[in-house]
Amino acid sequence: MINTKKFRRHSCIVAVFYLVMMPFTSIADVYNLTVDKVIIDTGKFKKQGIGYNGASPGPVLRMEEGENVTINVTNNLDEMTSIHWHGLILPYQQDGVPTISYDGIKPGETFTYKFPIVQSGTYWFHSHSGFQEPDGAYGSIVIKSKKREPFRYDRDYVVQLTDKHPHSGARIMRNLKTMPDYYNRQQQTITDFISDSETNGLGTTINDRMAWGDMRMMPADIEDVQGFTPLINGKGPNQNWTGLFKPGERIRLRFINSSAMTYFDIRIPGLKMTVVSADGNNVRPVKVDEFRIAVAETFDVIVQPKDDKAYTIFAESMGRSAFGRGTLAPRDGMVAEVPQLKKSPLLTMADMGMDHSNMKGMDHSNMKGMDHSKMKGMDHSKMKGMDHSKMKSQVDPFYAPGSGLTPNAGKDKKFLSYQDLKAQKQLYKHRAPTREIELRLTGNMERYIWSINGKKYEDEEEIRLQYGERVRFKFVNETMMSHPMHLHGMWSILDTGAGKWNPIKHTVSVAPGTTLYTETEVDAPGQWAFHCHLSYHAASGMFRKIVVVGGPKSALLNSITSKEPKV
């Protein structure tokens, strides 16, 4: 008896040992990345930049859910570097943000990241040091799901969009600081002024211009950095990245926007796209003709080209100053027609947080003394009672009514809205938030300062969250630019009014003059970055550090007090 018991206990220990060790031994892969100086050829110009394993974009890291990854990153630059794994849920010391997660990686040094993969889907990685990311330091991550995915496809392509500029990131930042409209080529001219005066009358035109001047913005300020060449998987429009297919096949396209500053409107003329995933999380499939991808977002779509012909992947920048172009084709070398850029939108008074249509009788000259900080813009919370499912028109509640940015795919065509995104699976039990934190997105265009609640990163304390709480963030965009807000380490549940089916994202775009809410289950101890993902906005102050207080003891031991990088 005693022997049997002993044996049983022994076998129990062995079993436990194997259970614990299994994930480490069976699927644990090692990935090696070098950070290198590279030449980026856009087809229009060649430019020295930064890449991984000798190229920009870097490789596609293919991982598996449940795997424990080891990633060796060797810095071949003569400056500090870092890699942030955008959208991955991991211990904060592995998150790759210098001064928040660790010190960074010194020249010549190899840093080893180790973390478990607890999710699946499409993500990306990039440097979080200086302007290395706009200079080319990005790659993509594809994580295979443990379970059968709620959709089916025969082929799978990453479509990584970037906006390569002939100037280095550091130079662009310097130029923006000295002259914020340095890269804005679509400024309104005296000809526009005369033509507006003819249409609207001289007085209205002057008043309108004065109001814009007071905002320190121009109606064409949709892209504050123009002059870039959009790339798809590193290829310029003429180099034409091509994905092959056999007619009838379902193709999964994993769109990733790794641009420094550029939002893209994406369509594939002749094909409907079924959106199945946003920011790595599956959504209920929704069929669209076109979608907008904010900086740092990812969208997975499934297309099924049935004809033996080529189709153009057309990605025009939101401000229409440039387009990216790729091709889906049955054979190499085939091309399809490349559409013209749509008319470039102009911001309206609605994008200032004011509905212009109600301002007919208003004397714009009195706006000088107006306190813009009081402009709350549009409040989505008031829309709870509305049945969005009944809305068939192109009205998108995530843009201010009358906004010049409101997307439109054309007659009888569907443009994806955040409103259409509904979680395929609930990640967290739906519950009421424990508190609300208001974050006003603010800026002074004249000095190219971007801030939160009127304060730059270096002038403001960290935001402290309690482990276990569910925080509701209220983003009030008081600027006239869109801001893709990215919280590291924890999910942002975007409030679309769908309750338990609200989609789960890592980056949410807040349109000018609007208020948007996200909720976060504070389940990751440590300290995290929280910022606008437009490179030059983050660098000029639209950035916060989040500290999560409390939580599991083991995690707490490593957090906050520790500044040492963990290897």
Q: Which long-range contacts (CB under 8 A, 24 or more apart) does 558-561 make?
A: 558/91, 558/93, 558/526, 559/92, 559/525, 559/526, 559/527, 560/526, 560/527
Q: Looking at beta carbons only, is 287 or 464 nearer to other proteins?
A: 287
- Nearest distance from C-beta of residue 448 to other proteins, angstroms: 42
Please answer whether residues 70 and 63 qualify as being in contact, where contact means their C-beta atoms are separated by less than 8 angstroms. no
User: Which of 346, 273, 348, 283 is CA-nearest to residue 315?
Assistant: 273
User: Which residues here bind other proteins, judged by CB under 8 A?
Assistant: 148, 150-153, 250, 272, 274, 276, 284-287, 302, 304, 387, 389-390, 392, 422, 424-425, 501
282, with CB counted inside 10 A (0-12, 13-18, 19+), is: buried
| C-alpha span between 230 and 234 (Å, rounded) | 9
Q: Looking at beta carbons only, is 311 or 536 nearer to other proteins?
A: 311
- Nearest distance from C-beta of residue 31 to other proteins, angstroms: 30
| C-alpha span between 393 and 496 (Å, rounded) | 17
- Nearest distance from C-beta of residue 390 to other proteins, angstroms: 7
- Nearest distance from C-beta of residue 491 to other proteins, angstroms: 20
Q: Looking at beta carbons only, is 153 or 428 nearer to other proteins?
A: 153
Give me the DSSP letters along 175-218. Answer: HHHH-TTTB-TT---HHHHHHHHHHH-HHHHHHHHHHHHHTT--
- Nearest distance from C-beta of residue 489 to other proteins, angstroms: 28
CB contact set of 12 (below 8 Å; sequence gap of 6+): none
User: Which of 513, 220, 479 is CA-nearest to residue 344?
Assistant: 220
Q: Looking at beta carbons only, is 272 or 320 nearer to other proteins?
A: 272
Q: Looking at beta carbons only, is 144 or 456 nearer to other proteins?
A: 144
Q: Looking at beta carbons only, is 315 or 421 nearer to other proteins?
A: 421
The backbone torsions φ and ψ at residue 174, rounded to the nearest 5 degrees and listed phi first, read -60, -45
- Nearest distance from C-beta of residue 112 to other proteins, angstroms: 38
- Nearest distance from C-beta of residue 272 to other proteins, angstroms: 7
Measure Cα distances from 300 to 293, 324, 432, 539 in Å.
11, 18, 30, 29
- Nearest distance from C-beta of residue 210 to other proteins, angstroms: 39
| C-alpha span between 130 and 539 (Å, rounded) | 8
CA angle 245, 258, 145 (to 5 degrees): 60
Q: Looking at beta carbons only, is 390 or 553 nearer to other proteins?
A: 390
Measure Cα distances from 471 to 433, 436, 461, 465 in Å.
6, 6, 18, 8
Q: Looking at beta carbons only, is 6 or 287 nearer to other proteins?
A: 287
Please answer whether residues 144 and 65 qualify as being in contact, where contact means their C-beta atoms are separated by less than 8 angstroms. yes
- Nearest distance from C-beta of residue 501 to other proteins, angstroms: 7
Q: Looking at beta carbons only, is 6 or 306 nearer to other proteins?
A: 306
DSSP 8-state code for residue 338:
P
